[in-house]
Amino acid sequence: MDKVTKFFKSTAGMVLLVTIFVGIAVHITTGNFFTAYNISTLTRAASFVIIVGFGQTIVLLTGGIDLSVATIGSVCGMASAIFMVDYGIHPYLAIVLASLIGIVLGGINGFFIAYFKVTPFIVTLATMQIYKGIVYVITKGMPITGMPEAAESLANGVIGGILPNIVIIMIVICLLLTLMLKRTKLGRYIYALGGNRNCAKIVGIPTERIELMVYCLSGWLAAIAGILMSCKLASFQASIGESWQMDSITAAVLGGTSMAGGVGSVVGTIIGGILSSVISTCITLLRISSYWETIVTGAVVLIAVLIDAIKDNPVIQSKIKRTLFGK
């Protein structure tokens, strides 16, 4: 019971309650929210962002940030399409090869951040532009079509007529990452690195190696999302995942991951990603202009960050109490 109470007092718990409340309110208004079709569509769309968000969450746990996730996904989606269409490589092998490229691209970020001590924001901002340029140089902005049916079936398939494959893949990744973070030495090192980098180094944690591994993992997860999106569309388009950079940060922050590092979970990222998708769906169902989506999402993220900052800062709490109650 204490664990349940503690969860609903957390950022992720509050976001879950808000998500449920918004869903009920929109369903009462439109009658279309809690339908099988809408839930399936919503979870499919959210799963891609959540998978990228998993990588972003782990990076944020170390106190870093990865702005290149969208373009890594794009590069790897392009690579998988080229492997399948131009070279006739079997879809599953092409997916494996393209995902390895994601590890390499993420490793480039991690190498400069961990060993050259360059600010993560600067490194990933630069590589974001480089990776984006690579996509446009190779494709000239043109789509790559003709991907095999097996690839399309992997991303669009449904088990039992209810559960989409992409949702199952997302859940499996979540379980594996949760196990890694909670039950392994690597997971403990990641939280320690984000909690206090200097202390982590003093007690003998190989901070550079852990940081490198974290960015490699983020690159791999972004690659998986980009590849699966290409498979879903049965073609690669240079615009794939353009919004994942902000969406992944949104999912992580709304899920209770601290931008300062050391606090957060991938389960919370699922909740944050679903809320983000719910906002988009609700705006569509209510026939509100889609331009409002970014405004509402940005406002929700800002509120979540403020709540997190206030909750963990007694000085700010006392100032608010004095302002409101004069004490």
Instruction: Give per-10-residue mean pLDDT for the chain (327 aa).
Output: 70 82 89 87 93 98 97 97 96 97 98 97 97 96 94 89 90 97 96 94 95 98 97 93 91 91 94 91 87 84 77 73 70
- Spatial distance between the Cα atoms of 184 and 182, rounded to a whole number of angstroms: 6
Is 17 contained in some domain?
A: no
Is 254 contained in some domain?
A: yes
- Spatial distance between the Cα atoms of 1 and 125, rounded to a whole number of angstroms: 44
Q: Give the predicted TM-score (pTM) of the model.
A: 0.93
Per-residue pLDDT tens for 174-220? 999 999 999 999 999 999 999 999 999 999 999 999 999 999 999 99
Strands in the chain per DSSP E: 144-145, 158-159, 163-164, 235-236
Is 239 contained in some domain?
A: yes
Domain range for 278 is 30-310
Is 87 contained in some domain?
A: yes
Torsion of CA 28, 171, 256, 118, to 10 degrees: -140
Q: How many residues does the chain have?
A: 327
- Number of domains making up the chain: 1
Which residue, chain included where needed, has tokens 């309110």?
25
Task: Say which residues have a Cβ less than 8 Å from residue 7's Cβ, sequence separation at least 6.
Answer: 13
Indicate which CATH number applies to the domain containing 221. Answer: 1.10.3470
Is 13 contained in some domain?
A: no
Is 5 contained in some domain?
A: no
Which whole-number Å values give the CA distances from 185 to 48, 58, 191, 215, in the listed order?
Answer: 28, 14, 10, 17
Is 319 contained in some domain?
A: no
Is 10 contained in some domain?
A: no
